[in-house]
Chains A and B, each alone.
Chain A
Amino acid sequence: MSKDSVNAIAQGDSGPLLAEPEVPREHYINTNYSWQSWLFTLDHKRIAILYLISITLMFFIGGLGAMVVRLNLLTPDGAVVRPETYNKMFSMHGIVMVFFFLVPSIPAVFGNFLVPMMIGARDLAFPKLNLMSWYLYVIGALIGTIALTAGGVDTGWTFYAPLSTKYAFGPVAWVIVGAFLAGFSSILTGLNFIVTIHKMRAPGLTWFRLPLFIWSHYATSIIMILGTPVLAITLLALLFERVFQVGIFDPKLGGDPVLMQHMFWFYSHPAVYIMILPSMAVVSEIIACFARKPMFGYRFVAFSSLAIAVLGFLVWGHHMFTTSQSLFSSMVFSFISFLVAIPSAIKVFNWTATLYKGSIRLQTPMLYALGFIGLFTIGGLTGLHLASMAIDIHLQDTYFVVAHFHYIMVGGALMGYLGAVHFWWPKMTGRMYPEAWGKVAAIVLFIGFNVTFFPQFILGYEGMPRRYAIYAPEYQVLNVMSTAGSSIMGLGYLLPFCYLLWSLKFGKPAGPNPWRATGLEWQVDSPPTTFNFDRIPIVTQGPYAYSAEADELMDAQADLERAQVELALMQRQIDSSHVDEQEEVAGGV
């Protein structure tokens, strides 16, 4: 900026530096406000918003279940509800959070919104299929949630037979139907992503120029379309056994209950990677942007996503070391489980290395991303305890398992989700969230999370089984700690809910690229227009064209200019007050 422009600003002609960014006049949200335009929309961005609203609702329903569970565990004999109700509450918490929140969370909201934008496309390959997948999800979630809240089931989210097919009361069949439908939504989303990523990349956007977000979503989609059908078959088999007494899993009807576990975990273990891979995708984007550096070891990070997707299919038996699974199977499953830890470790090391010689900004998305690294590392490494067969015969079905998977699913998947919410909120809504509140919420959540779940590792090693409404008194102290932590965590969720809603109306306009991020989605207005790009971009370089050095220089220069502007403004103020004084003096005479 030249001296002239400083003068110009000082004279009230605000230049680009102090310019308030504006929300563009026409974009995908305000183009039409009618309800039909939302419910029949084929715009991937609007469908993403529909998902965002529906999964947020689901999150709070699932959270309600968790609240009752934690409150009840305040005393050894159940503080608030009877054991039957407790069982229904943890089942509701698990089923809603897994099937209706975590699995769709990042892919259905941010994948939907960003995959086309990141690859320079105007929509997903199959917009109508995309809308249909939302309807399947909503119908499934409605059926499931009504069944869970109106009647309630006490099967746990795992639906183990013959408990679920014969002994459990309540509308189990309806919950299964709900999860079954939501599963199809997930299959269609995965299919849509794969086709889109293969066929609709902008000219010049080769595979190794793709953001890691896309690589991870590609890997996630593979799991969705290969794993979810097996879940569908399993749920259907459960349904047939429960409703028509077809003997598949119940030994009294000639079935095999362990078969059900094999089929269930064949999906549900890879499903853990459906939840965590998209979060890793988000973390890669955020780390690169807020460290102002290209991702260290881009190809290793990209291929580790695929390695996780492939190996993740071969480890399901590590959930079954204490069943009647054969020694040989257990050995193989344990061995591969140790292998799958390696690509995750590679990612963590590469993210950390990316920080080296960066120019690090600790804004809210970055706090979530760094929190993710820490919590995911603990969650992943405690997975080694459980992959070790000898330790697992002690820890299986205890609170150690609960703590471990919450470190992955909440500390990992959910932290990534919230990081994504803050990072792309300006892009989705055109408004900034309040930064200070964002940081407070991220820190509150991090503390609350650890106070809640760390004690559960100890509880588990001391032998407290999971899913216990009533427990031995020596476990009380740690349970009270955990419940206290969960109330802090609850606050950490309510804060973003409030200030994000507030920011829709009162947030500062964000401008196209508030983070000065690379990536095609940042090259267009916020919020984008319905078809994203007026002209399809031509890509000539890889992702993450950040330079910490150049940024530092730019920052220093900007700081200097800002100081100059302030100085000039102050000068002008002094001058004018001086003039006023003179006028006053003159008037007084």
Chain B
Amino acid sequence: MEPNSYPLTGVQASSMAGDIDAVALFVTLVTVFFSVGIAIAVIFFAVKYRRGAKVDRSNAPLHSVPVEIAWTVIPLIIALSIFGWAATLYFRHTQVPPGSMEIYVVGKQWMWKLQHPEGRWEMNELHVPVGKPVVLTMTSEDVIHSFYVPAFRLKQDVIPGQFTQLWFTPTKPGTYHLFCAEFCGAFHSTMVGSVTVMEPEEYAKWLTTGNTQQTFAQVGAQLFRQYGCSGCHAGNSSVKAPPLEGIYGKSVPVQIPQPGTPLERIPATTVVADTKYIHDSIVQPEKLIAAGYRNIMPSFRNRLTEEQLFALIHYIRFMADQMPPARGSRGDVSGLTPEDYKARIGFVPENIKKITGGSDASGGRTGSAPSGTTGTTGGGATGGAAGTGTPQQ
């Protein structure tokens, strides 16, 4: 593609672009107003009161509290209104619209790999349909990168070991610059590409071309078997590992291990099984332990690439979308009775009743945990260390 065929970034090609330009224009006007005002005042005074000029210099004021208050409060009001406006927009920027089309992005020195759920992947190019919210879930294989599309007025850092998300609704078909904005080493400036916004029909056609034998979920399913995940996590396996059907997006009870404290003494808490949780559970299984299970899973750190992890996560998500678990199955931990817990792991985690919403919450409190440590479910984990003097065994 001819580089000259890129339109200049003056083009507003996302639903955010116009709004961001509007607030930027306002701040620019404020900048111009004050800079020019100060410059005029300085020049005017420098000329009028130049040395030797015959002007009235008597009774020059040396301080004035009302004036000081005026030029403190007026700029403050202007500043805070800019803050409010920009913050509102930014808030919108952080709220991914439900039902967004998800595309996975992996940055590595010095290229972008983009994976569509339907199976098609591309390098340094992104094709998206116009008018539909798209969310990019991104991570990096090595250093920090930053996904930047000037025509969308948006960027988001791509950070190794973390997932960041960037959503946008393209509003204008065309081809736009894609830049890496965070310095990432020798060929940082060549980690560039393009984003092509297409009409939906064109996009649908585009998706089916190229070498796409499998959907991304199928790739994940294959890895799920290949790396032996299914050996423990599949519904019919004999090893005691939490089944993964239907957990994506749900609250799951976990225990957060603390050095020097046996698992029996650690109260449970809940986390949402989102992309990050699943990612971390694969590479750092010791970080959060599903309540009701022992930590026997080996870490897959450095054994899977970020792309493979994405495929696995996408597969687990796909299972949740496609097949909600039957209540009472092993995947539904909230259905376990204290006896079930005892049978499985030999103890009942403190708080588990409360977390899983069991109606007999009093059973969970019989150990008379000190008040103050049984506040919110979120606080259970942090307050837990102090409140475990009377384990519920």
Residues of A bordering B, CB below 8 Å: 83-84, 87, 154, 156, 158, 160, 162-163, 166-168, 250-252, 254, 256-258, 291, 293-294, 296-300, 321-324, 327, 330-331, 334-335, 338-339, 341-342, 345-346, 348-350, 352-353, 355-362, 370, 373-374, 377-378, 381-382, 384-385, 387-391, 393-398, 461-463, 465-474, 548-549, 552, 555-556
Cross-chain contact A160 with B86 (CB below 8 angstroms): no
Question: Taking CB as reference atom, which chain A residue is nearest B31?
Answer: A381
Cross-chain contact B157 with A357 (CB below 8 angstroms): no
Question: Taking CB as reference atom, which chain A residue is nearest B283?
Answer: A251
- Which residues of the other chain, B, contact A353 by a CB distance below 8 angstroms? 61, 67
Question: Taking CB as reference atom, which chain A residue is nearest B184?
Answer: A163
Cross-chain contact B62 with A296 (CB below 8 angstroms): yes
Per the 8 Å Cβ criterion, residues 1-38 of B in contact with A are 3-4, 6, 8-10, 16, 19-20, 23-24, 27-28, 30-31, 34-35, 38
Whole-angstrom distance from the CB of B294 to the nearest CB of chain A? 22
Known: A324-B159, A390-B90, A393-B153. A381 touches B143 (CB 8 A): no
The binding surface of chain B is classed by DSSP as mixed
Known: A324-B159, A388-B27. A468 touches B79 (CB 8 A): no
- Which residues of the other chain, B, contact A465 by a CB distance below 8 angstroms? 148, 179-181, 189
Known: A84-B186, A388-B27, A391-B24. A357 touches B57 (CB 8 A): yes
- Which residues of the other chain, A, contact B298 by a CB distance below 8 angstroms? none
Question: Taking CB as reference atom, which chain A residue is nearest B54?
Answer: A552
Cross-chain contact A468 with B188 (CB below 8 angstroms): yes
- Which residues of the other chain, B, contact A362 by a CB distance below 8 angstroms? 46, 50
Known: A252-B302, A346-B71, A349-B71. A163 touches B90 (CB 8 A): no
CA distance A166 to B259 in the complex (A): 29
- Which residues of the other chain, B, contact A166 by a CB distance below 8 angstroms? 143
Known: A160-B144, A334-B86, A549-B58. A398 touches B162 (CB 8 A): no
For the complex with contacts A256-B161, A396-B181, A397-B182, 10 further pairs of A-B residues with Cβ separation under 8 Å are A324-B157, A338-B82, A342-B79, A370-B42, A385-B27, A390-B23, A394-B24, A465-B181, A467-B188, A468-B188
- Which residues of the other chain, A, contact B90 by a CB distance below 8 angstroms? 321, 327, 330-331, 334, 389-390, 393
Cross-chain contact B162 with A258 (CB below 8 angstroms): yes
Is residue B339 within 8 Å, beta carbon to beta carbon, of the partner chain? no
Taking residues whose C-beta sits less than 8 angstroms from the other chain, chain B's interface range is 35 or more
Cross-chain contact B9 with A462 (CB below 8 angstroms): yes
CA distance A345 to B68 in the complex (A): 11
- Which residues of the other chain, B, contact A338 by a CB distance below 8 angstroms? 79-80, 82-83
Per the 8 Å Cβ criterion, residues 67-87 of B in contact with A are 67-68, 71-72, 75-76, 79-80, 82-83, 85-87
- Which residues of the other chain, A, contact B146 by a CB distance below 8 angstroms? 322, 396-397
Is residue B177 within 8 Å, beta carbon to beta carbon, of the partner chain? yes
Cross-chain contact B27 with A257 (CB below 8 angstroms): no
- Which residues of the other chain, A, contact B124 by a CB distance below 8 angstroms? none
Contacts A/B (CB < 8 Å), 29 sampled: A162-B142, A162-B160, A167-B185, A257-B160, A258-B159, A321-B90, A322-B181, A331-B87, A334-B86, A334-B90, A341-B75, A341-B79, A346-B71, A346-B72, A349-B71, A352-B38, A359-B51, A360-B46, A360-B51, A373-B42, A378-B35, A381-B30, A381-B34, A384-B30, A389-B93, A394-B150, A397-B182, A461-B24, A469-B189
Per the 8 Å Cβ criterion, residues 174-199 of B in contact with A are 177, 179-190, 192
Is residue B308 within 8 Å, beta carbon to beta carbon, of the partner chain? no
Is residue B328 within 8 Å, beta carbon to beta carbon, of the partner chain? no
Cross-chain contact B109 with A167 (CB below 8 angstroms): yes
Known: A391-B20, A463-B9, A473-B4. A468 touches B83 (CB 8 A): no
CA distance A291 to B51 in the complex (A): 9
Whole-angstrom distance from the CB of B302 to the nearest CB of chain A? 7
Cross-chain contact A251 with B161 (CB below 8 angstroms): yes
CA distance A393 to B164 in the complex (A): 14
Cross-chain contact B159 with A322 (CB below 8 angstroms): no
- Which residues of the other chain, A, contact B185 by a CB distance below 8 angstroms? 87, 154, 163, 167-168
